[in-house]
Structure 1
Amino acid sequence: MTQTPRKPRFFLGWTVVAVAALGAFSEVAFFNPVLGVFIPEFEREFGWSRTEISAAVTVGSLVGAIFAPFFGPLVDRYGGKPFVVGGCLIMAAGLICLSLMQEAWQFFVIYAIGRGAASGIISLAIGVTVSKWFIRKRGYAVGLTFVGTRCGFALLPIGVQLLIQSYDWRTGAVALAAVVVVCGVLPALFWLYPRPERYGLEPDGDAPLPPMMAGQPRPVREVSWTRHEAIHTKAFWLLTLAVAIQQWAGGAINLHQIPHLVDSGLTPEAAALVISVLAVFGGAGALFEGLLDARIGARWTMAIGLLGSAIGMVILMNVHSVAMGLLFAAVYGASFGMMVTSGQIVFADYFGREALGAIRGTSAPIQFSFNAVGPLMAGVAFDVTGNYLAAFIPFTIGYLLAAAALAMAQKPKLPAGRELTPVIEPAG
């Protein structure tokens, strides 16, 4: 008698989530909150302006915009492992070089390549890989993955700050390189698996099809659009605009929030504490996103996060004490965690898994170009006016406009000739 296939006791997808979370933790080494800790040191030792430092972030984001369209389809074809491992090795080498730099041009080259690898290769590969392992549980799985990013935001800036106080900023850069190798390279090398079907598994850990259905067309759990089909929908461009605005504002705030808090009267240690608390609430927001996503979808969850981020910006512009800084951390952190995690999911929710790397890779140059402008805009605003209000007010308005774009981004009709078979829920 033929037995009905059973669900696996342990789904390999959760191993992928754990490894991807470590990769997300590692890529924070080249994200703006960590660079924000280095800014006062660079100003003191080299005399660089915040515009000059922000320009390096701009160049790095533009490099990511170049990388993503090329690597997106390759992640679809080969899985995320070679790109997470390779990207983390590039970052680790860049951090070693950073510890040895003496000139501004060296900083530009190092940060351009390192940040380009983090945003244009690693982040893309992580998000696409996890999304291929899950459909019904995608929001929760991606939320868990990017708790790794929030943990990086919580631990790495304050860890680097302590190393700077005890030793110097160059020691902090070397320590970051070690973190990237241990947490990013090694786990991905052994346990970042490409997609469930390669191992005879189903997305979400569902039971395989029973033997009597062998040879029959497989039930379609979701429609997967091609890149060509996706880019000819209005929804694709509205989603791209919303995520691009989020990266325009969010990237600038991540870089300049520590200098702004210090300028507002907080000590560097208190500012680092605020950012760590923000990251903790960001992790909670990422997990809450998974719960909301299952009920209202990534589109509306992201819209809620954008509205909350606008409120957080109003608080940030009025911070003059540690208590106000912590209030900002709670509101903005939770909202930002929801917003960023939804941005990793929303394209998969609309266009499926099969060409997700190519679709997100097509959207990425616009997103990263916006991300390139935001930090530079804030740096110029500070150098010209002596504060960040000329940038923070437009960022607040931008969050509201991004939420409006999502409200207009209705899911497109299925491509011509396609039919969607209802999802088969696993027994038990």
Structure 2
Amino acid sequence: MMINSLRKIHYSWVVLAAVCGLALANSVASLNVLTVFFLPMSDEFLWNRTQISGAASLGALLGAGVAVMTGRILDQTGPRVILAIGALITTISMIALSQISAIMAFYIFYGAARVSDQGFIQAVSPSTIAKWFDRNSGMAVSVLFAVTALGGVLLPLISQASIAEFGWRFGWMVLAVIMFLVGVIPTILFVRSPKDLDENDGDGVELENFTIPEFSLSEVLHTKEYWFLTATVFVTGIATAGIGLHIVPYLVGQGLDPEEAVATVSVRFIASAIGGLIGGILADRYTPRLLILVAISVRVFSIALLIFADTFLKAVFSGALGGISDGIQSTVLVLLLVSYFGKNNVGGIYGVNRAAAVLGFSAGPMIAGIGFDITGNYNYIFYGFLLLTILSIGLVFSTNRTYPGVR
């Protein structure tokens, strides 16, 4: 059996490698890839930006509801089936997108990919890794988010090259192949639950992962700390997704070439990968709360700089700062939840929190798209995103570690 042949390797690292492959491939459904398809598809079909943004928002909104359920299912049955179903949905959706000619079909299939992205894969992957690791959890989660960011660097470039050479339909097919080879196959072959391996092999799991949780999900839902953190990911999700989907057309409107605008997206994700690794390392030395406060503060400066970015250098600097902020916050958030509320129910805890983030992701692109269609520019919208990000600093600052039974 393949698992037995890997017995000498602590199986937590095998699971991490497989989930990282899926996370990298899952960038096919990210807003940073969709923004590369934005102009060629809108030019061919005469779709406006609100219409295209609506598909991303609708899919994310539905994914929010799914995330609540998949988080609870993870705690009860493990991650393999959830992640495999998500990867297959995305693969099929990418194939279908290469054949569409109507806006309704775009909504159906891109919406399905976003549900899979937000509700299945991103809602479950970090909690899966947190359950497998104990002493090295910070490093493991940081590797996961760094690889996720790497996908955000590579796949927009691959998409842009495919579109430039063969057209946008071919671009979607390339993304389908990547998801199947890098996401579907490793997930089916290698992803397991720690409980499964403990029952079968006995010596492949860090048993200290299965301590009695400090909080049940119902207790967590009665703490102000949890809802302040949930509000934080909601408002930062609005700003992140609103800017993320529209950054290429925004920078083109600021005078940059399309290639420079796409390169800025790649710089942001390179910085996000670096930020994720930094966050994981620093989480072993500093409190996650402090790191998230620093990350959001950096994001405030990044958005402020982006508003005035009319050169490639300014855009790259803004993207680098924003990427570092994204990487640190994404990595440290799940560690903060574990440090506040325990590990065994982290699937359900993170799932509800992720649902709030996804709601923000769904609202952000629509807000930016409607704002642009009404005013003809992004200035007022981006100023609003800046204010929301400043608000989130106060929300995180108001949280402190609590204990079961303390409200």
TM-score range (shorter-chain normalised) is over 0.9
Mapped contact 1:30–1:118 kept (Cα < 8 A): yes
Matches within 5 A, 1:23-34: 23-34=22-33
Mapped contact 2:276–2:328 kept (Cα < 8 A): yes
Matches within 5 A, 1:235-254: 235-254=225-244
Structure 2 distance, partners of 1:35, 1:89, is 19
**1:201 Cα deviation (Å)?**
4.9
Structure 2 distance, partners of 1:36, 1:82, is 30
Match of 1:421 in 2: none
Structure 2 distance, partners of 1:359, 1:34, is 29
- Superposed CA deviations along residues 173-218 of structure 1, whole A, max 9, x for unmatched, are 0000000011111111111121264553587x5xx7xxxxxxxxx8
Matches within 5 A, 1:312-391: 312-391=302-381
Structure 1 distance, partners of 2:90, 2:293, is 32
The structure with more helix, counted as a fraction of residues: 2
- Superposed CA deviations along residues 64-99 of structure 1, whole A, max 9, x for unmatched, are 012112211111122111111110100010011100
Q: 1:265 to 1:201 in 2, by over 3 A?
A: farther
Q: Which runs of 5+ in 2 are unaligned?
A: 1-6
**1:401 Cα deviation (Å)?**
1.4
Structure 1 distance, partners of 2:217, 2:204, is 24
Aligned to 1:101, what secondary structure does the other structure show?
A: coil
Correspondence 1:411 to 2:401: yes
Mapped contact 1:224–1:355 kept (Cα < 8 A): no
Amino acid across the alignment from 1:355 = N
Q: Which runs of 5+ in 1 are unaligned?
A: 1-7, 209-217, 417-428
Mapped contact 1:304–1:339 kept (Cα < 8 A): no
Structure 1 distance, partners of 2:382, 2:276, is 24
Correspondence 1:256 to 2:246: yes
Structure 1 distance, partners of 2:323, 2:348, is 30
- Which structure would you say has the larger Rg? 1
Structure 2 distance, partners of 1:136, 1:296, is 15
Q: 1:163 to 1:175 in 2, by over 3 A?
A: same
Match of 2:164 in 1: 165
Matches within 5 A, 1:108-257: 108-195=107-194, 197-198=198-199, 199-201=201-203, 223-257=213-247
Aligned to 1:100, what secondary structure does the other structure show?
A: coil
Structure 1 distance, partners of 2:216, 2:332, is 21
RMSD value over aligned CA atoms?
Answer: 1.9
- Superposed CA deviations along residues 310-349 of structure 1, whole A, max 9, x for unmatched, are 1111111111111112211221111111122223332222
**1:9 Cα deviation (Å)?**
6.7
Structure 2 distance, partners of 1:189, 1:104, is 33
Structure 2 distance, partners of 1:219, 1:360, is 17
- Superposed CA deviations along residues 208-243 of structure 1, whole A, max 9, x for unmatched, are 7xxxxxxxxx89867442111110111110111111
- Superposed CA deviations along residues 4-62 of structure 1, whole A, max 9, x for unmatched, are xxxx9742212222211111111111110000001101210011111111111110111
Amino acid across the alignment from 2:202 = G
Which of the numbers 278, 290, 308 marks the counterpart of 1:288? 278
Match of 2:50 in 1: 51
Mapped contact 2:20–2:144 kept (Cα < 8 A): yes
Mapped contact 2:31–2:241 kept (Cα < 8 A): yes
Q: 1:303 to 1:219 in 2, by over 3 A?
A: closer
Aligned to 1:29, what secondary structure does the other structure show?
A: helix
Mapped contact 2:209–2:343 kept (Cα < 8 A): no
Give % identity: 28
Amino acid across the alignment from 2:89 = I
- Superposed CA deviations along residues 252-300 of structure 1, whole A, max 9, x for unmatched, are 1211111111111111111111111211111000000011211223222
Q: 1:226 to 1:201 in 2, by over 3 A?
A: farther
Q: TM-score, normalised by structure 1?
A: 0.88
